[in-house]
Amino acid sequence: RAFEEQKEHPLVVIYVFGHQNGRIRNEDIVTFQAIHNAYTLSPDSLIIIVNGLPPDRPNTYNKKTRAALIDLLGMKLDQICYIDHLNSVDIHQEDVRKYLIDTILNVHPRIHIKTNNINLMSDDIFELKDDLDILKIQINNERYEHEDVIGSMEREYEAVQRLSVLRRLFCQGKADLYRLKSFREQERHLISVIGQWEAEEIAYADDHSSDHYILAVTNKQDAQEQLTKNFAIQCQINVALNVCQKDIEQICFELEQIYDGRFDRGYEPIREYYVLLDNLRFDPTVIDVQHDFISNLCAFTCRRYGNID
CB proximity list for 238: less than 8 A, separation 6 or greater = 180, 291
The predicted-structure confidence for 16-53, as pLDDT tens digits, reads as follows 998 888 888 877 888 888 888 888 888 889 999 998 89
User: What pLDDT was estimated at residue 126?
Assistant: 55
> pLDDT band at 85, cuts 50/70/90?
confident
Helix, strand or coil for residue 11?
A: strand
Residue 6 or 113, more confident: 113
Residue percentage of the chain with pLDDT more than 70: 84
> pLDDT band at 198, cuts 50/70/90?
very high
Helices (H), the chain: 2-5, 26-39, 61-73, 93-105, 122-203, 211-258, 268-281, 293-305
> Is the per-residue pLDDT at 125 higher than 60?
no
Decide if 163 contacts 267 (C-beta within 8 A): no
Helix, strand or coil for residue 264?
A: coil
The predicted-structure confidence for 90-119, as pLDDT tens digits, reads as follows 667 888 888 888 888 888 888 877 777 766
The CA angle 66-122-71, to the nearest 5 degrees, is 15
> Is the per-residue pLDDT at 210 higher than 70?
yes
Decide if 39 contacts 71 (C-beta within 8 A): no
The CA angle 161-162-165, to the nearest 5 degrees, is 95
CB proximity list for 145: less than 8 A, separation 6 or greater = none
The predicted-structure confidence for 56-69, as pLDDT tens digits, reads as follows 888 888 888 888 88
What's the mean pLDDT when you consider all of the chain?
84
Kindly list the distances between the CA atom of residue 13 and the CA atoms of 47, 107, 149, 169, 263, in Å, as whole numbers in the listed order: 6, 10, 37, 60, 57
Radius of gyration for the alpha carbons in the chain, expressed in angstroms and rounded: 38
> Whole-model pTM?
0.52
What are the beta bridge partners of residue 81? 49
Average pLDDT score over residue span 232-261:
91
> Is the per-residue pLDDT at 121 higher than 60?
no
Q: CB pairs under 8 A, 24+ apart, for 2-5? A: 3/39, 3/112, 3/114
> Is the per-residue pLDDT at 214 higher than 90?
yes
- Name the residue among 273, 295, 184 with its Cα closest to residue 237: 184
Domain extent listing, the chain: 2-119, 153-305
